Amino acid sequence: MTAKATFVHSSSVVDDGAKVGIGTRIWHFCHVSAGATIGAECVLGQNVFVANGVLVGDRVRIQNNVSLYDGVILEDEVFCGPGAVFTNVRTPRAGVSRKDEYVRTVVRRGATIGANATIVCGVEVGTYSLIGAGAVVTSDVVPHRLVVGVPARAVGWVSHAGEVLGDDLTCPRTGRRYRLEGDSLVDG
């Protein structure tokens, strides 16, 4: 099997020292900073910014107008919808340098961040969870949780395939069954 070539649009800038994996596609007007690491087979839509120290796993899709600042980690197969926002300082001020106060944010494998959602720094978004469009996440999200609103609150569960689960906790797309153990969703 032949590996796909990496593509960087001519309007984008990938600084020397940035690491970009095989088969990744970087579209119009993006900037990937020197200390960033982007995995294989990712897609960065138009106008994506990736700062120093950001880690992006493999097969991640980052839609248009997303900025990833120092301290953000996206594990494999994360989806970031258009205009999703990540912060990295809890109390920013224009006149006060906070570069030594960046707070780490982790989005675990397979999670989806909806369009225009805001992820406040210092949280962990669990594996295969789904953050609804426009939600503001201010605390950790457990795996497979569906959260919506401002501030984000849990309203249900989602399968590995991203389908909202009904009372029977069976994925309508795949038939995969789940069960609850305390506040955790596990394969059933």
Is residue 114 a contact partner of residue 132, using CB atoms and an 8 Å limit? yes
Q: What is the pTM of this model?
A: 0.96
Please say if the pLDDT value at position 1 is more than 70: no
Locus of tokens 């995995």: 39
d(CA 121, CA 89): 7
d(CA 188, CA 181): 10
Q: List pLDDT tens digits, range 171-186.
A: 999 999 999 999 999 9
Q: Name which of 19, 92, 89, 10 is nearest 53 in CA terms.
A: 19
Q: List pLDDT tens digits, range 12-67.
A: 999 999 999 999 999 999 999 999 999 999 999 999 999 999 999 999 999 999 99
- Per-residue burial over 101-137, b = 16 or more CB atoms within 10 Å of its CB, e = otherwise: ebbebbbbbbbbbbbbbbbbbbbbbbbbbbbbebbbb
Confidence at residue 188, expressed as pLDDT on a 0 to 100 scale: 84
Confidence at residue 40, expressed as pLDDT on a 0 to 100 scale: 98
